Amino acid sequence: ATMFWITGMINAFNFIDGVDGLAGGIAVISSLCLGGVMLLQGDSGSTMQMVCLAAACLGFLRYNLHPASIFMGDTGSMFIGYILGCIGIMTSTKQATIPAIVVPILACGVPILDTTLAIWRRFTYKLLHLEDLSVGLMKPDRLHIHHRLLNYFQNNQPKTVSSIYLLALMLSLMAIICVFIPRQLPWLAFLTALVAFSLVIHRIAVIELWNSTRLFYGKFALARTGIILNLLHPLWDIGMILLAFFLVDKVHRPQMVVMVQWVAPVFVVLLLSKTYQIFWNHAVVDDHFRMLRILFFGFLLSYLYSLLLPQYGLPPKSFLFALALSYLGIETERLGLVYLRTLLIRYHNSSPLLDEKTCAVLIYGVGQAARFYLNRMANSEQRMGTERVIGFLDRDRVFKHGYCYGVKVLGDLYDLPNIWREQRFQKIVLCKNDLPAVEQQIVKEFCQSHAVSLVSFQYSEQTIDTTADNPW
């Protein structure tokens, strides 16, 4: 573990040295943070070492800020990573507690996070492009944190460096807060670090989350993936029902044998009802209501069975509460994967740190055709990362400012100029086939004058002549 930590820190500071003044400034912040922690612990010797390192980096930083006249190079950045890695080991070994382990990770959070994202990004990208020999874990790229912020700030290095300094200061502040966490609450330090890194990942890890989304959901719609998920569903369901009974009777802390007697009737009903023959990644609303009915019947049988064993019985309200908790846990898993896909697509398309910009699409016509278009776009790997629907248009003004299929209705055709000034969309999709000639002309003229693409989306039945040589 020691070798892994020090090697990781050496490479982490080497990776972060990509913009003038970045590695030196991060080293100053991390050194002062670790020095402050050492001072609070009464270690004056290590504190002085950290102060000396910070002072040396400050003197170097005077000539390394943009436009830099001297550069740190691999030797300098790797040396700083080595020193901070060694001090971090000393911090964690003096007190073998969770806060002592969390503090150096937070103090050097930016380089560690950047390295973690690089490994995550390159690994998932390689899995998505197995045939491409030019990508791999050891292949460099220009997608580090500083590269993304440089692109966002239009190559303004001072703004990029300042924003990363601010991030490092925030994580260092979290590290110092962890020192004051009482020893009786050790996991609070872990939770603090988890929340801090989660917030940063949510804002920065756009590409990594998107690669993972494509990797997982690219297989999600396949039949064999549905079979694998159906094998996992029973295990999840048993776990949720056991947890529900444990929570409702936590006062008595029932033995596992007793809980199994409560769970068994419910699970038998689930098996006999053919619930696990449903491919839940292609389920409809009625399937979810059917799950509620099946669980209700199963818990009713469990209650009736418990009446035969009074010593193991529970009051009716406990069974109802367990039913509610079980259904909530089961449906969270069933719906969570589908909802997470939509959420990640919207997150990816709306991120300001994305290199490639998505095409803004406006849909005309609220109806089934529009719904099919949205489903088609969400289930197409090529479309879901390149297009985003900004809103609906419809001639019925009752819909205006309302939401249909999760998308806002912005107005009608006569609102096009105002919407264009605010949104700058590049494409209009017509999902109504009964447009009057006047409205057709309005749309065509607008698209012509504003260089907007105009397409028509239709779905209909087509009779195939089976007697022809080539009926398709």
Dihedral sign from CA coordinates of 167, 168, 173, 178 = positive
Where does CATH 3.40.50.20 sit in the chain?
Answer: 359-456
pLDDT band at 314 (very low <50, low <70, confident <90, very high): confident
Residue 366's alpha-carbon distances to 87, 121, 323, 384, in angstroms, are 62, 38, 38, 20
- pLDDT tens track for 99-119: 778 889 999 999 999 999 999
Residue 348 pLDDT greater than 80, yes or no: no
pLDDT of 385 reads 65
pLDDT, tens digit, for every residue of 369-404?
Answer: 898 888 877 766 666 667 888 899 998 888 888 999
**433-465 confidence digits (pLDDT tens):** 788 888 889 899 999 999 999 999 987 777 887
Per-residue pLDDT averaged across 122-134, rounded? 82
Question: What whole-number percentage of the chain has pLDDT above 70?
Answer: 87
Q: Which residue has the higher pLDDT, 96 or 400?
A: 400
Hey, what amino acid is at 431? C
Residue length, the chain? 472
Phi and psi for 335 in degrees, rounded to 5? -90, -25
Average pLDDT in the chain: 85
For 295-304, the pLDDT digits (tens) are 999 999 999 9
**Which residue has better confidence, 379 or 66?**
66
Q: What is the pLDDT of residues 134-178, one digit of tens each?
A: 777 888 888 899 999 998 898 999 999 999 999 999 999 999 988
Percent of the chain with pLDDT over 90: 42
Q: How confident is the model over 77-86, as pLDDT tens digits?
A: 999 999 999 9
Which residues are CB-neighbours of 90 under 8 A, at least 6 positions away? 46
Convert the pLDDT of each residue in 193-252 to its tens digit. Answer: 888 888 888 888 887 887 777 776 666 555 555 566 667 889 999 999 999 988 887 655
Fold that domain 359-456 belongs to in CATH? Rossmann fold (3.40.50)
What is the model's pLDDT at position 296? Answer: 96
- Choose among 348, 336, 341: nearest CA to 378: 341
